[in-house]
Structure 1
Amino acid sequence: MLQHLLAVGLIFVTNCPVIQGFNLKGLIMAIDELNAFFSSMILPETLILSEGVKIINVPDFIQGHLEALNSIREEEVAAVFYERLMLIKSVLLDQLT
């Protein structure tokens, strides 16, 4: 449920235990790994993350989130983009199995 709320931006992130302690400096490698993961996949045009949450242009959504992670310096804001990408990765991996 927490990941779903993060994905749709319905919670105030500074009160979120997953995001408290989020370290932007340690995320550089994770961003590169996420970029490599998404680059290695054939992405669908649309993706349903959960009931009522549908991304209609997955490649652009992912590209925009990766660019945001590379440029945002506020940890609370960057954490939301990171969590959304991790949720998409999880959904894509679930669809492969």
Structure 2
Amino acid sequence: MSIEELEAYFKTFELPPKVKLHKAIVIEDVPLFIEGHLSVLKQYGLNNPTFKSFYDQLIRLKDILSEAS
């Protein structure tokens, strides 16, 4: 999934203020989390292994939101 596809996907949801990403990570401000992670990926790209976790966390959030809807 591309950065643009992720960005478009998140725009289709009414985002909750808070989400438990997994047992060790709770996102306290979901819109800010998405904005920040997308910004990093736009700057450094999807092929930079240093920032792969940013992409992985957005995909995990997408999966959680999809399951909840």
Structure 1-normalised TM-score?
Answer: 0.64
CA deviation profile, 1:44-63 (whole Å, cap 9, x unmatched): 00001122321000000000
The reply to whether residue 71 of structure 1 matches residue 43 of structure 2 is: yes
Separation of aligned partners in 2, 1:77 and 1:43:
27
User: Which amino acid counterpart does residue 34 of structure 1 have in structure 2?
Assistant: L
Structure 2, unmatched stretches of 5+, are: none
TM-fit CA distance, 1:72: 1.5
Determine the C-alpha separation between the residues in 1 that align with 2:28 and 2:21.
Answer: 11
Aligned pairs (5 A) from 1:6-25:
none
Distance of 2:24 and 2:58 partners within structure 1: 18
Aligned-CA RMSD value: 1.5
Q: Name the residue aligned to 1:36.
A: 8
Q: After the TM superposition, which residues 46-65 of structure 1 pair with which residues of structure 2 at under 5 Å, given as runs?
A: 46-65=18-37
The 2-side partners of 1:56 and 1:86 are apart by 17
Q: How far off is 1:78 after superposition?
A: 2.6
The structure showing larger relative contact order (alpha-carbon pairs under 8 Å, at least 6 residues apart) is 1
User: How many corresponding residue pairs?
Assistant: 68
Cα deviation, residue 70, structure 1? 0.4
Shift of 1:40: 1.1
- State the partner residue of 1:91: 64
Identity %: 34
Residue 53 of structure 2 aligns with an amino acid whose one-letter code is V
* Structure with larger Rg: 1
